[in-house]
């Protein structure tokens, strides 16, 4: 697919994240207090539709735009890496109200301070790379 | 067309996120944003010190374009599609935040107390954002994905590892929201 197409899909993503307030720190805080259905509706409906679509693609042996068979790779089995890594990410998510997608959307919105979060998130990824051999996986 | 200027409900946003994931699958890619953080490390030259970053990030350049698009989308949405930037969070959430000293909760997308000029002029404000970012970057790569890669793509493909990761997201999020934020906000 042409480069501009990825840019265009990203634009849709950025608009949805903004218009549905998924980029809002308040919505994440509210979600973790179970005081609104909004975020659960967003993630829940995306996942349920996604499950149906992925099952259909598998059953009908769906093809990509280039005509290649669509393959879904299974994730490696483990508990510690997903549970510990997930918990650390959850701590940061509830703190800044941003996950890796929305932080770039917020930057585009002109929120300068999110730049600090982005730079330290890149550095956090570097730290993982540096210490990954010493971590349980 | 006036609906476009109102906040979009969950039943519009959720299916559109599925649509974004399917478009990427149709292109032969997968929806997972945090991989970009690893690419950025590689571009910055991290491969010289850590082998984990010696990979062909150019194969992921489509994903970098995707987040550039995301930033453009954010710019368009906030400048042309959002006349009133306020978030209608529930009254109980507002009350809880006021108790923590957050003024006018929900009047803008983000609390000034964390992201505003005042936060940036204090040492604690910087530490808050830096620690948050470090946890996101470290945790997401350790877990092998973030909300897009695990919660959306992984759960859609019925992956047990992704469910474990999402349980982790919630353990961390609940601990932060209920046990830590009240002391550091």
Q: How far apart are the C-alpha atoms of A9 and B161, rounded to whole Å? A: 27
For B176, nearest residue in chain A (alpha carbons)? A91
Cβ separation of B176 and A95 shorter than 8 Å?
yes
The per-residue pLDDT for A2 is: 83
Does the pLDDT at position A1 exceed 60? no
Does the pLDDT at position B1 exceed 90? no
Provide mean pLDDT across the span A15-28: 98
pTM for the model stands at: 0.96
Q: What is the dihedral of CA B62, B161, B156, A5, to 10 degrees?
A: 0
Q: What is the dihedral of CA B63, A92, A106, B109, to 10 degrees?
A: 150
Does the pLDDT at position A86 exceed 80? yes
* Interchain CB contacts (distance < 8 Å): A and B: 477
- Reduce the DSSP state of residue A107 to 3 states and report it: helix
Q: How far apart are the C-alpha atoms of B76 and B68, rounded to whole Å? A: 12
Restricting to A residues 31-60, those with a Cβ less than 8 Å away from any Cβ of B are: 31-33, 35-47, 49-51, 53-54, 57
- Reduce the DSSP state of residue B160 to 3 states and report it: helix
Does the pLDDT at position A57 exceed 90? yes
The residue with tokens 């969950």 is B10
Provide mean pLDDT across the span B151-160: 97
Does the pLDDT at position B15 exceed 90? yes
Q: How far apart are the C-alpha atoms of A133 and A127, rounded to whole Å? A: 11
Backbone angles phi, psi at A98, to 5 degrees: -130, 135
Provide mean pLDDT across the span A19-32: 98
Residues A128, B164, B149, B60, CA torsion sign: positive
A100 in B contact zone (CB under 8 Å): yes
The per-residue pLDDT for A4 is: 95
Cβ separation of B87 and A72 shorter than 8 Å?
no
Q: What pLDDT, in 10s, does the model give residues B61-104? A: 999 999 999 999 999 999 999 998 899 999 999 999 999 999 99
Global ipTM: 0.96
Cβ separation of B109 and A119 shorter than 8 Å?
no
Residues near B143 by beta carbon (within 8 Å), at least 6 away in sequence: A81, A82, A84, A85, A86, A88, A89, B150, B165, B168
Restricting to B residues 61-100, those with a Cβ less than 8 Å away from any Cβ of A are: 62-63, 65-78, 81-82, 87, 89-90, 92-93, 96-97
C-alpha closest to that of B145 among B165, B164, B130, B160:
B165
Provide mean pLDDT across the span B136-150: 96
Q: How far apart are the C-alpha atoms of B93 and B19, rounded to whole Å? A: 31
CB-based contact A126:B142 (threshold 8 Å): no
């Amino acid at each position: 697919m042409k480069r501009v197409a990825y840019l265009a899909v990203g634009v849709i993503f950025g608009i949805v994240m903004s218009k549905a307030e998924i980029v809002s720190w308040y919505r994440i805080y509210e979600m973790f207090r179970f005081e609104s259905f909004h975020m659960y509706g967003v993630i829940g409906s995306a996942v349920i539709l996604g499950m149906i679509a992925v099952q259909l693609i598998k059953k009908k042996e769906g093809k990509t735009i280039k005509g290649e068979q669509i393959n879904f790779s299974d994730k490696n089995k483990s508990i510690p890496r997903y549970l510990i890594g997930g918990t650390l990410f959850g701590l940061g998510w509830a703190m800044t109200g941003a996950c890796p997608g929305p932080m770039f959307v917020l930057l585009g919105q002109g929120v300068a301070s999110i730049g600090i979060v982005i730079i330290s998130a890149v550095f956090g990824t570097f730290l993982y790379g540096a210490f990954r051999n010493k971590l349980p996986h | 067309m006036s609906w476009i200027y109102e906040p979009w409900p969950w039943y519009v946003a959720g299916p559109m996120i599925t649509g974004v994931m399917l478009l990427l699958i149709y292109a032969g890619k997968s929806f997972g944003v945090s991989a970009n953080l690893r690419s950025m490390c590689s571009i910055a030259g991290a491969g010289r010190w850590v082998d984990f970053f010696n990979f062909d990030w150019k194969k992921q350049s489509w994903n970098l374009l995707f987040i550039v698009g995301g930033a453009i989308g954010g710019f368009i949405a906030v400048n042309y599609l959002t006349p009133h930037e306020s978030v209608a969070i529930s009254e109980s959430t507002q009350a809880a935040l006021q108790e923590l000293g957050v003024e006018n909760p929900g009047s803008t997308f983000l609390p000034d107390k964390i992201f505003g000029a005042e936060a940036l002029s204090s040492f604690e404000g910087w530490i808050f954002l830096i620690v948050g970012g470090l946890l996101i970057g470290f945790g997401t790569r350790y877990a092998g994905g973030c909300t897009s890669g695990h919660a959306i793509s992984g759960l859609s493909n019925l992956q047990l590892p992704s469910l474990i990761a999402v349980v982790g997201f919630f353990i961390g999020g609940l601990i932060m929201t209920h046990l830590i934020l009240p002391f550091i906000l």
